[in-house]
Amino acid sequence: LTKRAYQTARLSELELPEHPQHPEWARWATVRHYFGISAFGINAWTARERGQELIGEHDELGPRAGGHEELYFVVSGHARFTVDGDTFDAPAGTFVFVGDPGTKRAAVSRDGGTTVLVVGAKPGEPFEPSPWERAAPAFAYFATEEFDKAIEVLARAHRDHPDDAGVLFNLACAESRSGDGAAALSHLAQAIELDDQFRDLARSDSDFDSIPAEPGFSRVVESAPAS
Amino acid sequence: MTASRFETAGLDELEAFPLGENGPVWRPVRRHFDIGAFGVNVYTGANPGDPVISEHSEAMNGHEELYLVTAGHAVFIIDGEEIDAPAGTFIFVDPEISRAAVAKASNTAILVVGGRRGEAFQVSAWEVSLAAFGYLRAGADDQGLEIMKSALERDPEAWPVHYNFACYESLAGRTEEIFGHLCRAIQLNPKAQELAREDSDFAAVRDHPEFVRLTERQEPG
């Protein structure tokens, strides 16, 4: 909001284009980012088909999460949530509030066209967007194959959150796709050093198809973590 | 959140408070779940032409607000401009701007999320009083009074809490209980005096000598 005192948009206008490497992902409407909201986090996910993952299993602990209370609202369609091991149906109009950041939660669609809105923030603290969410616009550039722009967004997120392994991993993906294998390898190594789960992800992520020939790739992704 | 690590509720399961005789119906989502990090509510209008969002600004709270039309079809009036808003429309509004919405279709529902940028969320005094007033209108004075007393216990020096408590007592018809709270509200924020002069909640005591004394303008000099 710079010149206008209000902004409007339809949900469908806020959705990122389909990720070419991950057509199975639900459509992500980057609501907070689009409006420049500073007081709370808010996003929406829409499933194309029945059985599609809407909310990947996660909790709100750890360095990549915000320790947020989260409120989910099924705007349309029909979702099935699994929270703290309980699985339950959530038709349109259902709220699911997960106040405990340590509780695991996930959701899949039971109908195509199911949209789940998520609002989150940490009680008692001013809101700060999560690092992964700050990098949201980069995913749109992956879809349009504008990798230089994706690198710009992710490099900025990396400057703001130098220890965020996810941002480093995605930066490496963008650099690999843009043909800068050396930079990709360097950032991938840093991501794996911070969080070993990215070692397995790198092996299977097609964004790195172009760099196995790069000296050091095998060493980075295949060496076992130090015990 | 006490024993359970999560809670669910359908929109229709939330309490519904009509805001005045011809006003919107408020469903207090934040209050239901005791959310501490942001404000969130749903307002509904049953018939075309019904108000869904009462005209207001957030200048006092400083909240930025995001509206989502989740069902039906609304028309917003923002800063004097009319905006057509079918289901699926988001509207994000700066705090100082006047905004209102009416239903254009039956069973229109609008979800509102709010908070103050750069600051930890605090429950607004209006939210507490709306719930208390809702119980009072429904004939449940005990529950309403309990809400107001708890608010005062939590925040004994907040002028809006004293002010709203005075309004509550006025609407409940307990004249003698009004003035202590109104006096304290004015001491904490002289703006309360001006608000009280125009506030229809005090209609029943407008000519009461104590109300006149508390709200009379000071002559300059």
Inter-axis angle of helices A136-143 and A165-178, to 10 degrees? 20
Of residues B218 and A50, more confidence is placed in A50
Sign of CA dihedral B141, B147, B151, B153: positive
For the residues B28-39, what does the mean pLDDT come to? 95
> How far is B199 from B171, CA to CA, in rounded Å?
12
The band of B149, judged by pLDDT with boundaries at 50, 70 and 90, is very high
Task: Give the chain B residue whose CA is nearest to the CA of A124.
Answer: B120
pLDDT for position B4: 66
d(CA A110, CA A146): 34
User: What is the secondary structure of A111-125 as a DSSP string?
Assistant: STT-EEEEEEE-TTS
- In angstroms, the CA A96 to CA A99 distance is 10
User: How far B24 CA lies from chain A's nearest CA (Å)?
Assistant: 18
Of the partner residues A1, A6, A94, the one whose CB lies closest to the CB of residue B8 = A94
Beta bridge partners of A76: A115
Q: What is the pLDDT of residue A223?
A: 63
Question: Which chain B positions have a beta carbon within 8 Å of A31's beta carbon?
Answer: 66, 90
Local structure of residue A225 (DSSP, 8 states): P
Mean pLDDT calculated for residue range A17-44: 87
Q: What is the DSSP letter of B204?
A: G
Q: Which residues in chain A touch residue B40, judged by CB atoms under 8 angstroms apart?
A: 71, 119
Whether the CB-CB separation of B112 and B24 falls below 8 Å is answered with no
- Sequence-distant (6+) residues with CB within 8 A of B117 are A38, A39, A126, A127, B64
Output the pLDDT for position A145. Answer: 87
| Residue A25 or residue B184, greater confidence | B184
Chain segment A47-92, per-residue pLDDT in tens:
989 999 999 999 998 767 788 999 999 999 999 999 999 999 999 9
Average pLDDT over chain B reads: 92
Give helix then strand counts, H and E, for chain B.
Answer: 7, 11
**pLDDT-based confidence at residue A227 (cuts at 50, 70, 90):** very low
Compare A63 and A175 and report the one with higher pLDDT. A175
User: Is 60 exceeded by the pLDDT of residue A226?
Assistant: no
Report pLDDT for B206. 93
Residue B2 has pLDDT above 60, yes or no: no
**How many beta-carbon pairs under 8 angstroms link A with B?**
156
Percentage of the residues of chain B whose pLDDT score is greater than 70 = 96
Average pLDDT over residues A128-155: 85
Q: Which residues of B are less than 8 Å from A103 in CB distance?
A: 5-6
Higher pLDDT, B188 or A210: B188
pLDDT number for residue A225: 53
CB A36 within 8 A of CB A2: no
A153 has a pLDDT exceeding 70 = yes
Decide if A179 contacts A196 (C-beta within 8 A).
no
Distances (CA, A) of A22 to A49, A143, A154, B36, B122: 14, 10, 19, 35, 40
Whole-number pLDDT of residue A1: 38
Radius of gyration of chain A (CA): 18
How large is the average pLDDT for residues A105-129? Answer: 94
Q: What is the ipTM of this complex?
A: 0.85
Residues of A in contact with B7 (CB under 8 A): 96-97, 99
pLDDT of residue B75: 98
What is the band of A25 on the pLDDT scale with cuts at 50, 70, 90? confident
Q: Do B37 and A121 touch (CB under 8 A)?
A: yes
The overall average pLDDT reported for chain A is 88
Give per-residue burial for B159-185: e unless 16+ CB within 10 Å, then b: bbbbbbbbbbbbbbeeeebbbebbbbb
What local confidence, expressed as pLDDT, does residue B19 receive?
85
Helices A165-178/A197-204 angle, 10° precision = 20
What is the model's pLDDT at position B157? 92
Residue A41, pLDDT score: 94
**pLDDT 10s digits, A193-210:** 998 889 888 888 888 887
Highest mean pLDDT among A48-62, A88-102, A122-136: A88-102
Are B95 and A10 within 8 A, CB to CB?
A: no
On whether any CB of chain A is under 8 Å from the CB of B73, the answer is no
Interface check for B217 against chain A (CB to CB < 8 A): the answer is no
**Residue A136 has what pLDDT?**
76
Confidence of residue B123 (pLDDT cuts 50, 70, 90): confident
Where does the pLDDT of residue B193 fall: very low under 50, low under 70, confident under 90, or very high at 90 and above? very high
**B1 pLDDT exceeds 50?**
no
Contact A99 B79 (CB under 8 A): no
Distance CA(A82)–CA(A100), nearest Å, equals 15
Comparing A81-95, B24-38, B122-136, the range with the smallest average pLDDT is B122-136
Report residue A2's pLDDT band, with 50, 70 and 90 as the boundaries: very low
Classify B179 in phi/psi space as left (phi over 0), alpha (psi -120 to 50) or beta.
alpha
User: Looking at A100-104, B38-42, B127-131, B191-195, which range is the least confident one?
Assistant: B127-131
Looking at residue B20, its pLDDT comes to 76
Mean pLDDT check: name the lowest of A151-165, A190-204, A210-224. Answer: A210-224
Give the gyration radius of chain B's Cα atoms. 18
